[in-house]
């Protein structure tokens, strides 16, 4: 139970949609969503495939708890070989799309091949068909979602789509659902665009049965009580969203600023959660309108925001004055501190553009920051940037590039390459703050040492959502560790990586892990699903998934040399804050990590490890 036990295979080349049974032997080993879809992917796709080739596949996938009444059980993921990185990609999204997919009776949808014209997939329970998307091609995710709902006469249809950025090949294009939720990193939307697949619309009415309803409801109620009583999930995130971290991380001395040349941003308070809630002088209204929740979520960390109507970005553009999808911490950091911009209205507007045109604000903002350093150091000039003055702190440059990048126009086309390719093009690869081609999120690893190891070893490139050691090193969850020390961080990172893989594969939001351990998740899964789902089983599943992803990357050509950080973080000490004088101690942590993982000194899973995990 809980699994729909059904897959929809969509061959875009032939235009066919075929149902097939879920491989339950694999489900028992990989659970669902991230883990199970990755298993399907690695079994069917050559690791050396070009991400934009028709031979690459793209899988939309749910977890066994997706669509149930468990808190936050609305998640779905997109699994493919990432266009930005060339590594295994699994990008997770909230909203309501995942629930609709599960209620239509599908654990996953596997897209293969390439259509010879723009199409979208429309699913209404058992009826699945590919339809002409020419009316939506060239349009935004907002227009596409509204158009599909109107065309089918049902406002309850849930839509996941790409914007113009995905069509134009922006390397970090997203898949956006519910207007402002996104499978946001690694270029999964770029892969979708390469297949001429514009959108997926779903209306599902079947429901999601569980194995033992009484036990499941009891476990769910217990889990919700834990979330409600926790200071982070019951108070901080509902009130302030993830933006609660802006001032906290800045004071910690771990807020990457101006392309990681600093670790503290003097304008942090101007773009913080507190600033979002303050009434503006001009009209007395705050940036923040209210919070919002994804399907089934009792945390409600999402934001709905407005831009001041007289601000230059939206003065004559009413459609942007009151959009949804307010700033979250990672986006606010990338658009703000990474570029030196502290104009809250400009950041909010740029974030709206990222949602509308469907591209990752983290990679975009970090790439703009790298371009600004190239400009400030004279590597590029206005002759290269179509006249734009790319100086740190320029809100106008940021918002202009937001619009150009989404459309793939002017210097925006270069920003759309991502920082790695951009910096390589201009002869300064060291200025790209990335791992495996993916830009860093909002934590400087000189001030939070465990995040350096997290970034270096992440299977999808630099990522905080694969091992959020910030929880321990800064917030003291589940126990406090010293952010400036390297001792013990290898074990901490491994534990977070394995547990996170299990959370992701269950269909739950990782934010529940601020309050829950796997001891809280196991009873919910055990009551919902066939099989025996103990905490120990889930930890083994998480470790198996991590090693499966690693093996794919190794076969794709990644080596231990790719488990590294930019020289800036290893050689240039933090200038201010608690970490002043420190660099990241990756050289101390990485060998211990390999040993704990049961990998060779070259970062390859040993035969013993592969045998133990049935890989």
- What are the pLDDT digits (tens) for 41-73? 999 999 999 999 999 999 999 999 999 999 999
Cβ-contact 489, 449 below 8 angstroms: yes
Q: Are strands 119-124 and 197-203 parallel, antiparallel or unpaired?
A: parallel
Question: Quick one: 304 exposed, middle or buried, by C-beta within 10 A (0-12, 13-18, 19+)?
Answer: middle
Coil, helix or strand for 202? Answer: strand
Tell me, yes or no, whether 44 lies in a domain. Answer: yes
User: Which of the four pLDDT bands, split at 50, 70 and 90, describes residue 605?
Assistant: very high
Shared-domain flag, residues 456 and 415 = no
pLDDT band at 295 (very low <50, low <70, confident <90, very high): very high
Could you tell me where the DSSP H helices lie in 333-435? 344-357, 361-376, 395-407, 412-415, 419-425
371: left (phi over 0), alpha (psi -120 to 50) or beta: alpha
The residues facing 302 across adjacent strands are 292
Asked if 158 and 58 count as a contact pair (C-beta separation under 8 A), the reply is: no
Average of per-residue pLDDT across 137-160: 97
Q: Return the axis-axis angle of helices 518-528 and 535-556, rounded to nearest 10°.
A: 100
Q: Are residues 45 and 114 in the same domain?
A: yes
228 falls within a domain: no
Contacts of residue 150, Cβ cutoff 8 Å, sequence gap at least 6: none
Least confident of 237-241, 316-320, 366-370, 583-587: 316-320
Is residue 540 within 8 A of residue 610, CB to CB? The reply is: no
Q: Are residues 469 and 414 in the same domain?
A: no
Categorize the per-residue pLDDT at 39 as very low, low, confident or very high, splitting at 50, 70 and 90. very high
Task: Give the confidence band of 357 by pLDDT, cuts at 50, 70, 90.
Answer: very high
With respect to residue 101, please indicate whether it lies within any of the assigned structural domains.
yes
The values of phi and psi at residue 575, to 5°, are -90, -25
User: Is residue 428 domain-shared with residue 470, that is, in the same domain?
Assistant: no
Residue 301 pLDDT greater than 90, yes or no: yes
Q: Is the per-residue pLDDT at 318 higher than 90? A: no
Contacts of 189 (CB under 8 A, 6+ apart): 162, 163, 165, 166, 173, 174, 175, 176, 183, 358, 359
Residues 286 and 391 occupy one common structural domain:
yes
Contact 402, 411 (CB under 8 A): no
- Picking from 446, 448, 438, 488, the residue whose alpha carbon sits closest to that of residue 468 is 448
φ/ψ of 270, rounded to 5, equals -75, -15
Which of 183, 171, 604 has its CA nearest to residue 406? 171
In terms of domains, do 295 and 157 share one?
A: no
DSSP state at residue 580:
B
Helix, strand, coil distribution of the chain in percent, nearest 5: 40, 15, 45
- The percentage of the chain sitting over the pLDDT mark of 90, rounded to a whole number, equals 96
pLDDT for position 317: 84
Number of domains making up the chain: 3
Task: Assess whether 321 and 199 both reside in one domain.
Answer: no
Beta pairing partners, 303: 291
Domain assignment of residue 569, yes or no = yes
Q: What is the dihedral of CA 329, 344, 185, 403, to 10 degrees?
A: 180
Q: Are residues 567 and 468 in the same domain?
A: yes
Nearest alpha-carbon partner for 74 in 33, 24, 128? 33
Kindly tell me the sign of the dihedral angle through the C-alpha atoms of 240, 68, 460, 12.
negative
d(CA 599, CA 486): 20
User: CATH number, domain at 154?
Assistant: 3.60.9.10
> Residue 438 above 80 pLDDT?
yes
| Spatial distance between the Cα atoms of 57 and 52, rounded to a whole number of angstroms | 9
342 located within any domain: yes
Nearest to 598 by CA among 546, 541, 536: 546
Output the average pLDDT for the chain.
97
Q: How far apart are CA 485 and CA 259, in angstroms?
A: 24
**d(C-alpha 499, C-alpha 540), whole Å:** 9
Give the span between the Cα atoms of 293 and 250, in whole angstroms. 27
My answer on whether 426 and 454 are in the same domain is no
> DSSP letters along 462-485, please?
S-STT--THHHHTT-SSS---TT-
What CA–CA distance (Å, rounded) separates 460 from 169? 19
Q: In angstroms, rounded to a whole number, what is the distance separating the alpha carbons of residues 27 and 35?
A: 9
For residue 1, name the pLDDT band (cuts at 50, 70, 90): confident
Give the least confident one: 41-45, 277-281, 428-432, 434-438: 277-281
Is residue 239 domain-resident?
no
What mean pLDDT do residues 186-209 have? 98
Q: What's the pLDDT at 315?
A: 84
Domain boundary among 203, 227, 249: 203
Evaluate whether residue 218 is within a structural domain. Answer: no
CATH of the domain at 353: 1.10.569.10
Alpha-helical segments (H) within 195-231: 213-229, 231
Name the band, by pLDDT with cuts 50, 70 and 90, for residue 480: very high
Exposure of 465 in the CB half-sphere (CA atoms within 13 A):
20
> Looking at the domain assignment, is residue 231 inside a domain?
no
CB 514 within 8 A of CB 477: yes
Model pLDDT for residues 66-108, shown as the tens digit of each residue: 999 999 999 999 999 999 999 999 999 999 999 999 999 999 9
| pLDDT value at 179 more than 80 | yes
- Distance CA(113)–CA(414), nearest Å, equals 28
Q: For residue range 373-390, list pLDDT tens digits in order.
A: 999 999 999 999 999 999
The string of pLDDT tens digits covering residues 516-563 is 999 999 999 999 999 999 999 999 999 999 999 999 999 999 999 999
Quick check: 70 and 83 in contact, CB under 8 A?
no
pLDDT of residue 287: 93
Do 395 and 343 form a contact (C-beta atoms < 8 A)? yes
- Structural domain span for residue 309: 257-432
- pLDDT over 80 at 319, yes or no: no
SS3 state at 489: helix
pTM over 0.75: yes
The verdict on 475 and 326 lying in the same domain is: no
Q: Assess whether 491 and 372 both reside in one domain.
A: no
pLDDT of residue 282 exceeding 90, the answer is no
Give every CB contact of residue 149 below 8 A, 6+ residues apart in sequence.
155, 157, 159, 201
Q: Tell me the per-residue pLDDT of 363-422, one tens digit each, with 9 for 90 and over.
A: 999 999 999 999 999 999 999 999 999 999 999 999 999 999 999 999 999 999 999 999
The pLDDT assigned to 187 comes to: 98
pLDDT of 281 over the 90 cut:
no
Are 479 and 589 in a shared domain?
Answer: yes
pLDDT for res 320: 79
Q: Under the phi-then-psi rule, with left for phi > 0, alpha for psi from -120 to 50, and beta for the rest, what region is 296?
A: left
pLDDT at res. 430: 98
Strands 16-21 and 6-11: antiparallel
């Amino acid at each position: 139970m809980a699994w729909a036990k059904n897959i929809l295979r969509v061959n875009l080349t032939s235009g066919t949609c075929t149902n097939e049974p879920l491989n339950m032997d694999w489900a028992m080993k990989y659970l669902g969503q991230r883990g199970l879809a990755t298993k399907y992917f690695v079994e069917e796709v050559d690791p050396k495939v070009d991400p934009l080739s028709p031979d690459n596949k793209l899988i939309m996938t749910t977890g066994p708890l997706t669509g149930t009444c468990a808190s936050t059980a609305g998640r779905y993921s997109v699994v493919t070989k990432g266009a930005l990185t060339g590594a295994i990609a699994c990008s997770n999204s909230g909203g309501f799309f995942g629930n609709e997919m599960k209620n239509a009776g599908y654990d996953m949808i596997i897209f293969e091949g390439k259509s010879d014209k723009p199409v979208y997939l429309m699913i209404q329970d058992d009826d699945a068909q590919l339809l002409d998307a020419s009316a939506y091609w060239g349009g935004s995710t907002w227009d596409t979602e509204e158009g599909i709902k109107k065309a089918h006469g049902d406002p309850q249809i849930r839509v996941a789509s790409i914007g113009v950025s995905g069509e134009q090949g922006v390397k970090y294009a997203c898949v956006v659902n519910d207007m402002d939720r996104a499978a946001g990193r690694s270029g999964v939307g770029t892969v979708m665009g390469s297949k001429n697949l514009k959108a997926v619309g779903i209306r599902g009415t079947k429901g999601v049965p569980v194995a033992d309803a009484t036990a499941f409801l009891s476990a769910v109620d217990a889990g919700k009580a834990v979330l409600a009583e926790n200071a982070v999930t019951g108070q901080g995130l509902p009130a302030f969203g993830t933006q609660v971290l802006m001032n906290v991380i800045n004071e910690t001395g771990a807020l990457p600023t101006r392309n990681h040349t600093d670790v503290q941003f003097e304008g942090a308070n101007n773009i913080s959660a507190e600033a979002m809630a303050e009434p503006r002088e001009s009209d007395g209204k705050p940036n923040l309108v209210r919070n919002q929740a994804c399907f089934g979520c009792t945390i409600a960390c999402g934001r709905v925001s407005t831009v001041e109507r007289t601000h230059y970005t939206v003065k004559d553009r009413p459609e942007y004055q009151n959009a949804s999808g307010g700033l979250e911490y990672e986006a606010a950091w990338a658009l703000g501190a990474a570029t030196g911009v502290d104009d809250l209205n400009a950041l909010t507007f740029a974030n709206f553009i990222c949602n509308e045109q469907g591209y990752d604000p983290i990679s975009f903002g970090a790439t703009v920051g790298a371009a600004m350093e190239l400009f400030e150091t004279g590597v590029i000039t206005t002759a290269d940037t179509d006249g734009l003055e790319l100086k740190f702190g320029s809100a106008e440059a940021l918002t202009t590039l937001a619009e150009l990048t989404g459309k793939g126009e002017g210097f925006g086309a270069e920003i759309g390459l991502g920082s790695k390719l951009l910096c390589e093009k201009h002869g300064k690869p060291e200025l790209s703050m990335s791992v495996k081609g993916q830009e860093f999120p909002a934590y400087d690893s000189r001030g939070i040492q465990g995040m350096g190891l997290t970034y270096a070893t992440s299977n999808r490139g630099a990522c905080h959502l694969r091992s959020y050691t910030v929880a321990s090193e800064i917030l003291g969850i589940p126990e406090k560790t010293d952010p400036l020390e390297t001792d013990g961080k290898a074990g901490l990172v491994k534990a977070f990586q394995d547990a996170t893989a299990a959370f992701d594969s269950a269909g739950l939001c990782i934010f529940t892990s601020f309050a829950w351990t796997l001891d809280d998740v196991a009873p919910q899964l055990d009551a919902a699903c066939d099989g025996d789902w103990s905490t120990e089983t889930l930890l083994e599943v998480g470790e198996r998934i991590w090693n499966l992803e690693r093996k794919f990357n190794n076969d794709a050509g990644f080596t231990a040399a790719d488990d590294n950080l930019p020289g800036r973080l290893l050689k240039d000490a933090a200038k201010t804050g608690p970490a002043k004088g420190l660099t990241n101690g990756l050289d101390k942590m990485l060998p211990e990590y390999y040993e704990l993982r049961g990998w060779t000194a070259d970062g390859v899973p040993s035969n013993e490890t592969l045998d133990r995990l049935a890989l």
